[in-house]
Amino acid sequence: MTTIIILLCIGLVAGMLSGMVGIGGGIVIVPALVFFIGYSQHQAQGTALFMFLFPIGILGVLNYYQQGYVEWKTAFVIASTFVIGSYFGSKISIAIDQTTLKRVFGGIIFLLSLKMIFGK
């Protein structure tokens, strides 16, 4: 049950950030699946890509699936809250001035890059 709650939170946060600053898949979901769920980089990428299957990533998902790197249940759970998060994230983004929004975007990418570079 804890894993389901974590996955729902990942989908919600990624959806909000997607709606707010246009990021979500590779920048939020992949590292979150690696750090919070313990997926390999391949599993995280394949699972995140599945979320964007139609129309964006169908051929990429096929490659990851053939190698056993797609976690279907995880992708479905995250996708369910990603939609809700993107709605509210876009509402927040619209209410923020451009300069602040650029700083939020840059800060998120910067912090995630530090975690990826120096984390376990």
What pLDDT, in 10s, does the model give residues 50-82? Answer: 887 665 677 878 888 999 999 999 999 998 898
- Do 81 and 54 meet the contact criterion of CB atoms below 8 Å apart? no
pLDDT for 106 equals: 83
Contact 110, 27 (CB under 8 A): no
Residue type for position 59: L
Task: List Cβ neighbours of 105 (8 Å cut-off, separation of 6 or more).
Answer: 21, 22, 23
The pLDDT value given to residue 86: 85
Helix (H) or strand (E) holding 69: none
Measured between its terminal Cα atoms, the distance across the chain in Å is: 25
pLDDT at 55: 59
Domain boundaries, the chain: 9-118
pTM tops 0.85: no
